[in-house]
Amino acid sequence: MLINYSKIFKENLFDKTQKEKEIFFFNNLKKLHNYHQKNSKEYLNISKTLFKKNMNKIENLPFLHVQMFKEKNLKSVQSNVNVKMFNSSGTSGKKLSMINIDMKTSLLQAKVLNRILLSVLREKVDKIYFIDSETTLKTMRNSARGAAILGFKQIANSFEFILDSKYKVKKKIIKKIIAERKKICFFGFTSLVWLNFLNYLKKNKIFLKKKDTILFHGGGWKKIEKNKVSRKKFNLECKNYIGSNKIYNYYGMIEQTGSIFLECEYGLYHPSLFSEIIIRDENMIPCKPGKTGIIQVCSLLPISYPGHSILTEDLGEIFAIDTCRCGRKGKAFKVLNRIKDSEVRGCSDVY
What integer pLDDT is reported at residue 298 of this predicted model?
98
Final residue before a domain boundary, out of 251, 283, 313:
251
What integer pLDDT is reported at residue 211 of this predicted model?
73
The residue segments making up the domain with residue 307 are: 5-83+262-338
Final residue before a domain boundary, out of 251, 272, 302:
251
User: Is residue 51's pLDDT more than 90?
Assistant: no
Residues 40 and 158 in one domain: no
Residue 300 lies in a domain: yes
Q: d(Cα 33, Cα 144) in Å, to the nearest integer?
A: 25
Averaged pLDDT, 157-185? 92
Q: d(Cα 37, Cα 76) in Å, to the nearest integer?
A: 9
Residues 244 and 267 in one domain: no
Q: d(Cα 269, Cα 259) in Å, to the nearest integer?
A: 12
Count H helices, E strands: the chain? 11, 14
Name the pTM for this structure.
0.91
Instruction: Tell which residue, 273, 274, 291, has the closest CA to residue 283.
Output: 291
Residues 237 and 146 in one domain: yes
Residue 256 lies in a domain: no
What pLDDT digit, counting tens, does each position of 180-202 carry? 888 889 999 999 999 999 999 99
Mean pLDDT is lowest, of 147-151, 243-247, 256-260, 292-296, for 243-247
Q: d(Cα 29, Cα 50) in Å, to the nearest integer?
A: 18
Q: d(Cα 56, Cα 341) in Å, to the nearest integer?
A: 34
What pLDDT digit, counting tens, does each position of 79-128 carry? 888 889 998 865 545 788 999 999 999 999 999 999 999 999 988 999 99
**Residue 190 Rama label (left phi>0; alpha psi -120 to 50; beta):** alpha
Q: Which 8-state DSSP code applies to residue 140?
A: S
Averaged pLDDT, 202-225? 84
CB atoms within 10 A of CB 310: 22
